Structure 1
Amino acid sequence: MQVPITELNARMVRFRDRLDRTCPDWEVAAITEKINLYYFTGTIQDGLLLVPRNSDAIFWVRKSWERAIKESQFPDIRPMASYRDAASATGPIKNPVHLELDFVSIAQYGRMQKHFSFTGPIGVDAHVAAVRSVKSPYEIALMEKAGKIHRHVLEDLVPDLLTDGIDEVSLASALYAVMVREGHQGIIRFGMFNEMLLGQIGFGMSSVNPICVDTPGGISGMCPAVPMAGCRERKLAKGDLVVVDIGCGFEGYQTDKTMTYMFGEAIPDDAICVHEQCVAVQDEVAALLRPGAIPSEIYTNVMNGLGPEFKKGFMGYRNNTVKFLGHGIGLWIDETPVIAQGFNEPLQERMVFAVEPKKGIEDVGLVGIENTFMVTPDGGRSLTGTHRGLMPVF
């Protein structure tokens, strides 16, 4: 399960090349966020990856150096008790250092600055994200495995879990067990320190309950202290719409998929019509996922083609809407670029996006769909199946 050394070397080369092109005066980059460390070194340990411009990178590990050596093929892994050890070996950094400003705390920055004596810092987050956004064939293979598990569970196995009177938490628990049994890594990861076991699972209007996450859907949650996993009191009944919006991970790499189910009987015809319109939007966006396409232009053109009535509450419910149609995905569920305004760099082959057009409907819940697509010259290729949603479970 080790990340191959050829893969690690290629990632570092791309990272250095990007800094050379965009930051011609850079001297050293310092990486500390655990998923970025995994991306560049192949292990998640408490440490500091120093990438000097004119010498080889060194991964300084506080804990556990022994595990890092066992798990990683990174060529230079050294133990440290604190940043003092790394600074003593490398010397002071005279120019501003490139740091992950989204993740380095003020206290951590102070400790680093104390020992390395650098000025600055300058943000490196966007550069790491840009390198990570284009997946290698190795990464695509892992995402394809995640997508295969995802499709099988949501399309083939979930219907058997839907029984009259089951509550949302019990469904989430049963689904988690099935996902892990089928190969899910047991956790999904988001940027900005967030992790979850699965995602959003809800019956009817629970699926549009407002939450703190920037997503078109929602969830009731167990209580104010734990606003996730579903509601114990909300039980499945005939006529309910069931929404399962979850991630699936395999060896770190994730796909995102939403499936909807009609339990006992069909939802109203007008809601089915809205769902079909959402599926058509997904298909339109997916067809545009080609190298050279501009994400912001995809967003603007697709949104401009929607009718004013349909756009009311689109990508959410009532006023709780989001301003995107899809998002990058990989080691995090929420990567860049995003199919939204402000993302103006051309798409590249093997970028991967979760496309999720959805809309909340009064007294029904969240209709719509989500699948994960890889950018190809022929348009987006789904990694998570092609089912159109609203699966009947009668």
Structure 2
Amino acid sequence: MEKSFLIPQDEIFMRISRLQKEMETRAIDGALIMQRVDLFYFTGTAQNGLLYVPVRGEPLLMVKRYYPRARSESPLSRIIEITSVREMPGLIMESYGGLPSIMGLEMDVIPVRELTFYKKLFPSLHMVNISESILKIRALKSDWEIRQLEQVAIRSKASFDFALECASANKTEIELASQVQTHARSMGHGARLRLRHHDERAIPWNILVLSIPDMDTPSAPYPTNRALKPPCLVRLDFKWVYKGYHLDEVRMLALGKISEELHRLWEALVEIHDHMVEQALPGRPIQELYVSTRNKAKALGYGDLFVGVTPQGYPRPDAPIGHCIGLELYEPPELRMGDRRILIPQMVLALRPTFILDHRFPISIGTVLMITETGNKLISKIPIELFHK
């Protein structure tokens, strides 16, 4: 994070208040937050530490390192420096007059070994999973967060415009990708994409420039030294992160005159994308949106080609066709079969309809939108069209 980037105090207090309401509903007396992105979300700092949130009252941030920076970044008033997590039981008792009976931990990410350690550290407590409540809160973006995502979208579009300027015949995929990445870094791209993991997992960022020169040459899942030789279709896959917030967008560029078959596929994909946007409405069950989108692909005659994309970037028929996005690249809920949760205003979705040709060639559109009270609003600023050069 940039040192000058501070989350407003009111934003942090609102998030903590929502968590405490969740805890009260679930009869959880206290929560211990340690996953790095969750910690940043509720404190405003990503320094190495742990946050104890009581069901009522002010939270306590215990920092292992770096205390001065945590103090300067977080608006919380109760911040102390610790040298060992073994100090926690005594500090919680001292601060709140006792230990909770039931304490929530992020059990979707905490390793079994560490969970066993905390059970021994707090032997009298009953521990439950608090992750579902945290992710439920994080799924609904505040107006302040939406403004951050809109800033990312501006930079993503600038990167895409730059890629269109730079793309030319005989330039290799990796040359174009390198130019775009250098330009993006100059605009503040954070370079590492965050995934939900206990140990702050972040994956190296690459602009994907994948060309489809003909139906007999397979495309690699990463940029190569293959030259862009018209006619070809180029997939520009942009994953932006700026001041902690992510955006995931994909567009296609036609170099030269591509085949009528590829044109028809693109036009069908746009219809499917537009159908998803029209159907992504507040109150709609996610499974209903998923089934409706698959039925649209079948009605257009491309049901067998329509796939989703896994978090690892692999197209698969059973993979999600979209997901929530924010401080992590992939956030729940995912748009997939079997998810009966409903779309709620302030959710931000990354839609990712994809065709896979001959099990090798992915043609995609990636768009980010926000669910509103009456429908939805596009956050992405790149036009939905097949670009030509």
Counting only pairs closer than 5 Å after superposition, residues 32-111 of structure 1 correspond to structure 2 as 32-91=34-93, 93=99, 95-111=101-117
1:15 to 6, 16, 19: 19
Equivalent pair of 2:163/2:176 in contact (CA under 8 Å):
no
Mapping for residues 135-214 of structure 1, pairs under 5 Å: 135-154=141-160, 156-192=161-197, 193-204=201-212
Q: Where in structure 2 are there 5+ consecutive unaligned residues?
A: none
Partners of 1:189 and 1:15 in 2: how far apart?
22
Q: How far apart are 1:49 and its partner, in Å?
A: 0.8
Secondary structure of the structure 2 residue equivalent to 1:254 = strand
From 320, 326, 330, give the equivalent of 2:326: 330
User: What is the SS of the residue equivalent to 1:140?
Assistant: helix
Q: Which residue of 2 aligns with 1:391?
A: 387
Q: CA deviation at 1:257?
A: 0.6
Provide TM-score, normalisation by structure 2: 0.88
What is the aligned residue count? 372
Distance 1:266 1:127, change over 3 A: farther
Shift of 1:368: 2.9
Aligned equivalents of 1:205, 1:17: Cα separation in 2: 55
Q: Deviations over 1:165-185 (max 9, x none)?
A: 333333222111111223433
Change in Cα spacing, 1:365 to 1:69, as seen in structure 2 (3 Å) is: same
Distance 1:271 1:16, change over 3 A: same
**After superposition, what is the alpha-carbon deviation per residue over 1:173-209, rounded to whole angstroms, capped at 9, x for unaligned?**
2111111223433332222324232453322289xx9
Cα shift at 1:72: 1.5
Match of 1:245 among 220, 232, 237: 237
Q: CA deviation at 1:313?
A: 2.9
Q: C-alpha separation between the residues in 2 aligned to 1:335 and 1:266? A: 38
- The answer on 1:288 being equivalent to 2:284 is no
2:257 corresponds to: 266
Q: Is the 8 A contact 1:288 1:298 kept in 2?
A: yes
Given the alignment, which residue of 314, 319, 329 partners 2:306?
Answer: 314
Q: Deviation string for 1:327-350 (max 9, x for gaps)?
A: 101111111122222332322212
Answer with 340-349 or 276-285: which moved more: 340-349
Deviation string 1:44-97 (CA, Å, 9 cap, x unpaired) is 011111112244211111011111011111222111111122221114746343
Match in the other structure for 2:9: 5
Indicate yes or no: 2:247 matched with 1:255. Answer: yes
**Is the CA contact 1:313–1:320 (under 8 Å) kept in the aligned structure 2?**
no
Provide the secondary structure at the position in 2 that maps to 1:305: helix
TM-superposed CA distance for 1:40, in Å, is: 0.3
How far the C-alpha of 1:133 sits from its partner, in A, is 0.6
Q: Does 1:220 align with 2:221?
A: yes
**Structure 1 residues 115 and 161: CA distance shift in structure 2, 3 A:** same
Q: Is the deviation greater in 235-244 or in 163-172?
A: 163-172
Give me the whole-angstrom Cα distance separating, in 2, the residues matched to 1:307 and 1:87.
58
Tell me the SS of whatever aligns to 1:331: coil
Is 77-86 or 374-383 further displaced after alignment?
A: 374-383
Structure 1 position 375, deviation (Å):
0.8
Equivalent residue in structure 2 for 1:366, among 359, 362, 379: 362
Moved more, 314-323 or 181-190: 314-323
Which residue in the other structure is 1:377 paired with? 373
SS in 2 for 1:111: helix
